């Protein structure tokens, strides 16, 4: 309660509240490739954590939004037009997370379509999230948060649009979902559920025939290419509308 006066005192000054720390943004860039969920990492050339791997990151500009700062630093590591989806994850504030000093970090989740071929710098590589190399700072834990968020959203949003090519067969989509989710996925269920929800729709075209033969698969596409919640949480709800029961 004694904080109260202290707190109110802070309005008077033009908010030089606390500038003893800096703020950085970082991005967990994920894609599905060859049955692996991969994250984009770059190898540090200088301390701290020399030769360990780090997420794309960088400082927040003086009058910059977090979202644009992430885009700016991402552009140094990957073709920004290949980022199909970008959303804020969380902000880390642990005092010991950076040995150089106090650095707040706001993490973002970025997704790249599986058929994109972004050119990446020489010090940068894709690593499967199930077999990470030594990772600097708290970045391994942040990658864990990012994959958890992706997996949750795969089942109640249309976020798959950011992982899949523009058009795809059900079998391809099944593989993408299975590797992203980390468990088997039934192609029949996937097709039926996503179609009923209006998330995907068949196109006129069929996939080019493969050497292996087989019936040509129809190509599907995502109905929307922005994030939509498709499986609304409506538990316990009775039939009629209204506010009170």
66 phi, psi to nearest 5 deg = -60, -45
Q: What is the DSSP letter of 97?
A: S
CB under 5 to 8 A by kind: which of DNA, a copy of itself, none does 226 bind? none
Evaluated on CA atoms 109, 115, 128, 179, the torsion sign reads positive
Say if CB 143 and CB 129 are below 8 A apart. yes
Residue 232 interacting with DNA (CB under 7 A)? no
Residue 140 interacting with DNA (CB under 7 A)? no
| Of the candidate residues 201, 206, 224, 229, the single one contacting DNA (CB under 7 A) | 206
Shortest CB 204 distance to a copy of itself, Å: 26
Phi-psi region of 204 (alpha: psi -120 to 50; beta: other; left: phi over 0): alpha
Tokens representing 25 are 């943004």
Tokens representing 69 are 């700062």
Shortest CB 204 distance to DNA, Å: 12
Shortest CB 115 distance to DNA, Å: 16
Residue 215 interacting with DNA (CB under 7 A)? yes
Residue 95 interacting with DNA (CB under 7 A)? no
Q: What is the DSSP letter of 168?
A: B
Of 76 and 166, which CB lies nearer to a copy of itself in the complex structure? 76
| CA gap 151, 147 in Å, rounded | 6
Of 46 and 234, which CB lies nearer to DNA in the complex structure? 234
20 CB-near residues (< 8 Å, 6+ apart): 102
Of 101 and 184, which CB lies nearer to DNA in the complex structure? 184
| Of the candidate residues 186, 203, 224, 225, the single one contacting DNA (CB under 7 A) | 186
Q: Which stretch binds DNA (CB under 7 A): 39-47, 61-69, 144-152, 202-210?
A: 202-210
Taking alpha carbons only, the member of 79, 92, 75 closest to residue 140 is 92
Of 166 and 229, which CB lies nearer to a copy of itself in the complex structure? 229
| Of the candidate residues 12, 239, 241, 243, the single one contacting DNA (CB under 7 A) | 239
């Amino acid at each position: 309660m004694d904080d109260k006066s202290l707190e109110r005192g802070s309005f008077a000054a033009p908010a030089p509240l606390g500038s003893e720390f800096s703020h950085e943004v970082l991005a967990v860039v994920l894609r599905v490739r060859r049955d692996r969920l991969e994250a984009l990492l770059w190898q540090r050339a200088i301390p701290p954590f020399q030769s360990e791997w780090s997420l794309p990151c960088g400082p927040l500009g003086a009058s910059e939004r977090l979202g644009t700062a992430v885009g700016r630093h991402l552009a140094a590591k990957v073709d920004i037009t290949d980022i199909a989806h970008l959303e804020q994850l969380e902000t880390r504030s642990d005092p010991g997370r950076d040995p150089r000093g106090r650095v707040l970090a706001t993490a973002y989740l970025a997704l790249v379509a599986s058929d994109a071929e972004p050119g990446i710098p020489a010090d940068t590589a894709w690593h499967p999230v199930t077999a990470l190399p030594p990772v600097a700072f708290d970045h391994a834990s942040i990658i864990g948060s990012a994959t958890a968020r992706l997996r949750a959203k795969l089942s109640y949003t249309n976020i798959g649009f950011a992982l899949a090519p523009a058009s795809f067969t059900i079998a391809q989509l099944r593989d993408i979902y299975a590797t992203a989710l980390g468990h088997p996925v039934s192609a029949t269920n996937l097709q039926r559920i996503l179609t009923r929800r209006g998330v995907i729709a068949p196109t006129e075209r069929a996939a080019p025939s493969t050497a292996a033969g087989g019936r040509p698969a129809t190509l599907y596409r995502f109905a929307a290419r922005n994030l939509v919640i498709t499986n609304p949480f409506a538990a316990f709800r009775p039939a009629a509308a209204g506010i009170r029961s």
